[in-house]
Structure 1
């Protein structure tokens, strides 16, 4: 048997080892960059793409000690609030909500958020308006009048964009019996007969819509007419024509003529330049992994990076795009970079003379 002195010595060594490992772990954590990306409810496209991007970044930047995690949320409006509170450093936003926040209009009336910055367009957010067959009339968006209809969770981008779309076709919450449900809950309520339909904007295919069709709910996707699209854009010019091919969803036999707006990857000016540069670079240099995250992620590319983006870029993303030879519209140049851009132009002009 070991002597008492030996046991004491081993105990001291054990304690010292634990303390050493704890200090080493603490030091490693101090050197690690932890970031969170805010998404939306789990039944849509924001969540799987946000979590997928977080995994791609964490794997690609492991040697740089960068770890990114995805978190669910109520959507775009809450995401902006989470970034303001630094409870998320990145988020996915509807372009419409990003512009409203930047300009201080509608939902952000008198409260412009000039610290907001863009990184990239990600994919088109396709409007999926679903309605039970027994409430169909013309098969277009106007059919939602006088129905029990979910406009999305309160304070979500879904709710706000749906309200604007409704306003464009002379409808309002008073025109329907509104519910405020997430995607999965909307489908469950329709299946149980407690709801006539709902707005489910997402990338194609949207898992909640797939579930709706696959589970035999007698409902279908509504079309948006050219006249309705034009009327909606007179309220907020953010949408474009989008067609969902037949058979995208189980039993969907016809093309759905709907509309879409861009989703963007956003941050704030407080994210340091090198981190934003590294994240942007890693996303575009690991496109095979990025495209494997979700079918909608296939839209992520350098060629699409600035399409529909209307809020100035983060200086780190701006620097990456300049290096990549991307033509950056002047309105997307971040305020922090204007002096750099001006000096660069002046230097080039002097050299040419």
Structure 2
């Protein structure tokens, strides 16, 4: 009888132990299932974070840089258990998805980041301020490139009137730039046929003749223009000094830029390209733990060669320019790293 009682007691103890193990496995499983989408982590418990990086279209500059960040840099950063990059509609989409918690980091134009955080009317943020976005680092200048084919009769901004013009995805940062530049030149969408499409589709449209020109906001050289140049010689338009002055006096985040002719010389471009640029920046969910953001920022600048290998613009990402053009407040983790490195965060 004593043996039976002892056996029964041991069975009860084993059942409780098994139930405890099963509960722990279920908790871990739930975290893994939700982590790749919602990311984040429990700062109090020291749980590692999972991050998803919003980039842009595969024919732009954001995507290759974002993939390199995720796979070669952040995935190995202390405090990060998983990092992945996804192709997106770029700046506006990235800001909106960060607000909903789907992305924890994103590449975005500095002007769109400013609109998002401050609830400005441009880019559909008037009724939906993004209140969980903080700056991580400034990346590189994003050149506004107005591209057509070399045999086109379009030679200036004014020549776009009456043409089919790709202005970027509707509501995107590229579209915001296109609209502002056209207006600085006294042109509205009523004066042309605006086609809302991404860089890859715009390149295809120029190849098959369904569009006449396209606005592309991306670091030069841009793969969409190179892809077009592989089948047809390209012409990237210069913007007149008058239009540039009109634009920069109205919008402080634009800077004047010159793209050297050799950038696209192999694709038929003749002469330097006078244009304007905004700054590409990397933003982060302000709710991510300070230590995790500190470690990711540190890892990025200690592994810059991975970004240089991913795209030519990776060479522009330097610690010395990490806060230039930053249009929103820095995350405390990033600010801590910069202060330790002697970089101003004012």
TM-score, length of structure 2 as denominator length: 0.82
Q: Deviations over 1:99-151 (max 9, x none)?
A: 111222122235443432111111111111012445535x2323222210010
Match of 1:201 in 2: 217
Counterpart selection for 1:116 from 133, 144, 154: 133
Task: Give matches, 1:168-183, under 5 Å.
Answer: 168-183=184-199
> In 2 relative to 1, CA 303–65 (structure 1 residues): closer, same or farther, beyond 3 Å?
closer
Partner Cα distance (1:25, 1:298) in 2: 43
Partner Cα distance (2:88, 2:241) in 1: 33
Which segment is superposed worse, 122-131 or 32-41? 32-41
Contact 1:164-1:236 at 8 Å conserved across structures: no
Query: C-alpha displacement at 1:32, in angstroms?
Result: 4.8
Q: Does 1:231 align with 2:231?
A: no
Partner Cα distance (2:137, 2:156) in 1: 32
The alignment partner of 1:291 has SS state of helix
> In 2 relative to 1, CA 315–306 (structure 1 residues): closer, same or farther, beyond 3 Å?
same
Q: Deviations over 1:222-261 (max 9, x none)?
A: 0012211111123322211211112212222311112111
Counterpart selection for 1:222 from 194, 212, 237: 237
Q: Deviations over 1:148-167 (max 9, x none)?
A: 00101112111122112222
Count residues with an aligned counterpart.
308
Query: C-alpha displacement at 1:96, in angstroms?
Result: 0.8
Contact 2:323-2:344 at 8 Å conserved across structures: no
Q: Does 1:246 align with 2:256?
A: no
Match of 1:165 in 2: 181
Counterpart selection for 1:147 from 163, 175, 184: 163
Contact 2:97-2:103 at 8 Å conserved across structures: yes
Counterpart selection for 2:65 from 38, 45, 49: 49
Partner Cα distance (1:24, 1:101) in 2: 37
Contact 2:98-2:132 at 8 Å conserved across structures: no
Q: Does 1:303 align with 2:320?
A: yes
Partner Cα distance (2:183, 2:134) in 1: 28
Partner Cα distance (2:28, 2:130) in 1: 35
Partner Cα distance (2:96, 2:80) in 1: 27
> Which stretches in structure 2 are left out of the alignment for 5+ residues?
1-17, 36-46
Partner Cα distance (1:67, 1:85) in 2: 19
Partner Cα distance (1:142, 1:233) in 2: 19
Task: Give matches, 1:78-89, under 5 Å.
Answer: 78-89=93-104
Which segment is superposed worse, 96-105 or 306-315? 96-105
Match of 1:93 in 2: 108
Partner Cα distance (2:321, 2:126) in 1: 30
Task: Give matches, 1:28-39, under 5 Å.
Answer: 29=32, 32-39=48-55
TM-score, length of structure 1 as denominator length: 0.81
Which segment is superposed worse, 179-188 or 63-72? 63-72
> In 2 relative to 1, CA 116–25 (structure 1 residues): closer, same or farther, beyond 3 Å?
closer
Partner Cα distance (1:244, 1:128) in 2: 9
Query: C-alpha displacement at 1:290, in angstroms?
Result: 2.4
Q: Deviations over 1:265-316 (max 9, x none)?
A: 0123111211111111111111222222210111111111011112110111
Query: C-alpha displacement at 1:25, in angstroms?
Result: 11
> In 2 relative to 1, CA 64–115 (structure 1 residues): closer, same or farther, beyond 3 Å?
closer
Q: Does 1:266 align with 2:299?
A: no
Counterpart selection for 1:129 from 130, 146, 156: 146
> In 2 relative to 1, CA 271–25 (structure 1 residues): closer, same or farther, beyond 3 Å?
closer
Match of 1:332 in 2: none
